[in-house]
Amino acid sequence: MVVRFPARAQDITPGLLTELISAQHPGAVVEDVAVTDEWTYGLGQVSAAARLGLTVRYGGDPGGLPERLIVKIDRRNNSPYPLYANEVEIYSRLRPGRLVNVPAFLGGAYDPESGSLGLLLEDLRARSVTFPNVLLPVTLDELRAVIDQVARLHAAFWCSPRLTSDLSWMQSHVIGDIHSLYTDPDQRPAVIAHQLETTQFKREMVQRLHTSGPELARMTAVLQRNQSTLPQTVVHGDAHIGNTFLIPDGGAGLVDWQLCVRGFGMHDVTYLLLTSLPVEDRRAHERELIAYYADRLREFGVTEPPALESLWTEYRRAAVWCLYIGWLTVPVVNYGWEITIGNHLRITTAMEDLETLTELRRLAAG
Q: 120 and 135 share a domain?
A: no
pLDDT of residue 78: 63
Q: What is the pLDDT of residue 141?
A: 98
Residue 19, domain extent: 9-126
Residues 250 and 156 in one domain: yes
| Residues 112 and 133 reside in one and the same domain | no
Q: What is the pLDDT of residue 47?
A: 59
Closest CA to 121 of 238, 24, 40, 188: 24
Closest-CA residue to 95 (of 181, 188, 166, 43): 166
Number of domains in the chain: 2
pLDDT-flagged residues of the chain (< 70): 1-2, 41-48, 75-79
In a domain, 1, yes or no: no
109 plus 133 within the same structural domain: no
**CB-based contact 242:204 (threshold 8 Å):** no
In three-state secondary structure terms, 337 is: helix
pLDDT at 76: 62
Assigned domain for 158 exists = yes
**Could you tell me if residue 170 is inside a domain?**
yes
Q: Answer yes or no: is 325 within a domain.
A: yes
Say how far apart CA 363 and CA 229 lie, in whole Å: 13
DSSP 137: -
Q: Which of 72, 103, 126 is the last residue of a domain?
A: 126
Mark whether 121 and 28 lie in a shared domain: yes
Same domain? For 173 and 56 the reply is no
Task: Please enumerate in sequence order all residues whose Cβ is within 8 A of that of 204, keeping only pairs 6 or more positions apart, or say none.
Answer: none
Instruction: Measure the CA–CA gap between 71 and 17, rounded to whole angstroms.
Output: 10
Summarised one tens digit per residue, pLDDT across range 169-206 is: 999 999 999 999 999 999 999 999 999 999 999 999 99
CATH of the domain at 71: 3.30.200.20
| Same domain? 116 vs 196 | no
Residue ending a domain, among 104, 126, 148, is 126
CB distance 159 to 239 below 8 Å: no
Point out the domain boundary residue: 97, 126, 155. 126
pLDDT at position 4 is 80
Q: Domain check: are 114 and 242 in the same one?
A: no
Is 4 a domain residue?
no
111 and 219 part of one domain: no
